[in-house]
Structure formats: structure tokens, C-alpha cells
Structure 1
Amino acid sequence: MEISFIGAGNLAWHLAPALENAGHHINEVYSRQLQHSRQLVSNLYDARTHSDLNFADSPSKLFVLAVPDDALDSVCSRLVLPENATLVHTSGNKSLSALQNWMAIYSDVPVQTGVFYGLQTFTRGQSFMDFGEIPLCIEASDKVTEDALVKLGQELSDIVYLLTSSERQTLHLAAVFACNFTNHLLSIAHDLSTADGLEFELLQPIIRETIRKGLAANNPADVQTGPARRGDMTTIESHLSQLSSQPQLAEIYQIMTENIRHRYGR
């Protein structure tokens, strides 16, 4: 399949080479940061940078919107595609209907629309990720487009799901708790330990075991431990006293503690 990318950030850095390795051809890469598109193109076989959002003469059939959610509307308003092209966004949170509406408003030619969402955290500049175990969530405006996107997804991953926009948004919300918030809590743990001259590495065995147990359990709630789970108010009050000079962290601690206590009737 002939494919063009609109955006050259975290996802595009990994998805474009994966598509080429699956036998597809990346024609063009557009990014408002030219350096980013040049860097991505340098990792592809014979793709070229595209200077603007006018793709009317492009040979591509599939156009991948790999831009931040808050840029989608603006990009779509300036995007010119060849007739009967397929345009997909890669957002976990934006609905398919939003993309359909933008195309209905802004496009002068018929365009098929879809969603091609990879449920993973991607970082630009790192070694290319293997998509084999990355869940790909597909949605499309029509059956023909859906079948084409599913086939494309199955060439990359062993985990391909058809999800509605509502289901995908729920999955994205859950991923924020599981991924982004977890990493933020790890950063708090890092700051607390290193502020007293302790090595963060001391916490890594318990972190690894906690994640291992949580993933192995039918429900991570079944393996919850800690003072809130036990209802150990003496320890909880001691911790809050330690955080008295850091009210934001104390608030996070209290919210998490009360949520755990409520769940387990403590």
C-alpha cells in the first residue's frame, strides 16, 4: 500500500518503519518541524519530505494523521487529499465521528475515514519498536475501509481489535491511569528517596515485584498491599506528618489512601 504520514513525532517514528518492514511504501512525510520529517525520512527507504498539507497529487491511498489531538482540527482544515483516499487518525481519545465531520466540512472530494490506534507509549528517537505485541484498535466509516485497516493491522500485530470510539476512549482513560499516572508516582518515589540521599535503585526490586504480581493476578486489586489496605492508621498518620511541608504530595497520598480504604472497607 502507498502511504503518507502527516506528523513525524513519537508514533510516526515507530509506525512508519514498521509499515515499511511489512512491505508497504511510505511516499511522503509532512511535519511542521521540518527537522523531524527529515530525521524520519532518513530512516525510511525512499520516502521524501512534504512541504505542506496539499497532497492532491500524491500517489498514496492511505494518509496517517500522527499529530497531537489538539492539532487535528487545524490540520484537517488545511489538508487536501486525492479523491477516495483513506484518512486515519491515531488518537486514543478522539472519536471517528470528529474526523468524519472535519472531512465533511473541509474536504472537496470524497474521503474514507478510520482510526488506527496503537495502545503503547512511544518515544521518538529510540530504537524501533516491534509491533507484534502492541494492541491495535481499529474503527472505520465503512466495511471496506474497516477490512483494509484490519488487514493492515494484522500484518503488524497479533493483537487487533475492532473497537467503537467509546470503547477506545475508555481504554485510553484506563491507559492514562496504568501508564502516565504510574510513571508519575514513580517519579515522586524517586524524588522522595533521593532528597534524603537514598538511591532510587533500592526501590526497584519492590517496584518490579509489584508490577509482576499485578499483571499475573486476575485483578490487581487481589494483590493490593500496604498500610491503606490494612487500615494501618498509625503508619498513615506518620506518613502524612512526613509530608506536612509538601501539601501537594500530602493531598495525593490522602486521595490514594482514602480510595484504597474505601475499596476494601477499611
Structure 2
Amino acid sequence: VASVASVASVIQGDVSPSPRHDSTEALIAALAAVPDELYLMLDGAEYLRDTGAWAVLQALIDARLPRLHLALATRCRPALRLGQLGAEGVVVELDDESLAFTLAETRACLPPESGQAASVRLLEATRGWPAGVRMLAGGRAADESRAALDAYWTEVVAPGLSAGQARLLRWLAWLDRWTPELAADVTGVPRAAECARSLVGQGIFIGPARAHAGWHTLHPLFADWLRRSMPLAGADRLALHRRAVAAWVRVGSSGEAL
């Protein structure tokens, strides 16, 4: 109990830093003194923007405390040096594909009377996204399910977007697949390629386009919300399609242009 209290006092800033024993060192010392297994879990780590906070996490990792286990949930790669630990086999990384529900898991979320076809449709619509499966399979009416999804996009995802990212996504939502360079060609958004790369890096419901190496695609549920919440005017959609046709021809995909 005393050791845990010591850890709490460090986190709350009750231990004054000194040149030889700053707060990070004090935290490591307090954690090392705890005799039990410790689990530090951080959800939504993509919102951790302070470099000092990442430095503290890196120091905890570098300290190699034998009873400390660190779990991070994030949509983008953390700003941590994990190469050596990965080589030693002590890092477990679970990506979108690892966490996606299988058909059997999706089927288990549906009412017993639902058939195989309903399971397949739900899996295709959500791409196995667990939260999406839960919201769409929770026994709600269709309009209630859409409202739940809309609330998620509005309250959880949208606040993390910059104005430039939101502006670009408004256009990308109409494209089946794209590259950062194509995004710049067809949207006309300033610094579109750079912005597209930042979106990919943040992992904001963007994944690799199947069978198209180097291309990206928006999650279909996210794209649907973008098209409804930030619609393009008819003239803008026509301009987008014209520029997209020209871009597809330039990259040798005349079939896509049609």
C-alpha cells in the first residue's frame, strides 16, 4: 500500500524534481518498489500530443521494470522506440485486421433468428469493426442504429480532425480508393497530398485498398457519414468526377475512369 501511495504522489506531482532525481526518475523508482504486477493502460493514445508525456513513457519502457506491463490503444503508431523490444519478442502488436470480427463472431452478435445472409451483410458493411458490429446488431431499428453511428462520428472522430483534414475528407468520401497524389489531383484542396498522408498516419478509419498496393480507402460507414454530414453540391461533384476521370486515365486505369 505504501508503494502504491508513493506512485500516486509522484503522478500527482507531490515529489519535487531535482537535478539528480527528477519526477520521471521518481516515478520509475516508485514503480520499481511495487511488489505486484503493474498494468499501465492508455486508451486513445493518438490524442497524446505532448512530447514530454511520450518521453516519460519511453523512459518507463527503457527502464525495463520486470513487473510493469504497458498497453496502448491508438489509431496510429506511437511515438516510441520499440525496435529492440520487438526484436526480443516482448512486444505484441494488434492491428485492425487482428481485431476485426470474423463472420462467426459477427453472427454471434445478431439475434438467434438472423440468417447467414444477414451476418455476411453486416460483416461487409462494418468490415468487422467491433464497435460498428455492436451498434448495428444491437437490436435497434435502422434509424436508431444510424443515429448511434452518427453520434460516434460526431462526438468521437470529428473533434480529432483538423479543418484541413475535414475539408479533404469531404471530397475523398466520394472516391472508392485513392493515393495522396491522386487526392491532390482530384480534390483541389490546398496541400491535399500532405493532408492525406497525415490522415493515413493517424489511422482515422482509413485502410489499404484491397488488391491495390499503395492505395487507400475510407471505411464505408465513415464515408457514408461524411457524404451525409458534409455533402458536395452538384457542381462540385461534377467537377470531382471530371478530375477523377482524368486522373484515372493518367495512371492507366481507363476502366476506373468509365
How does the TM-score come out when normalised to structure 1? Answer: 0.27
Please state which structure has a larger fraction of its residues in strand: 1
**Is the helix fraction higher in 1 or 2?**
2
What TM-score results when the alignment is normalised by the length of structure 2?
0.28
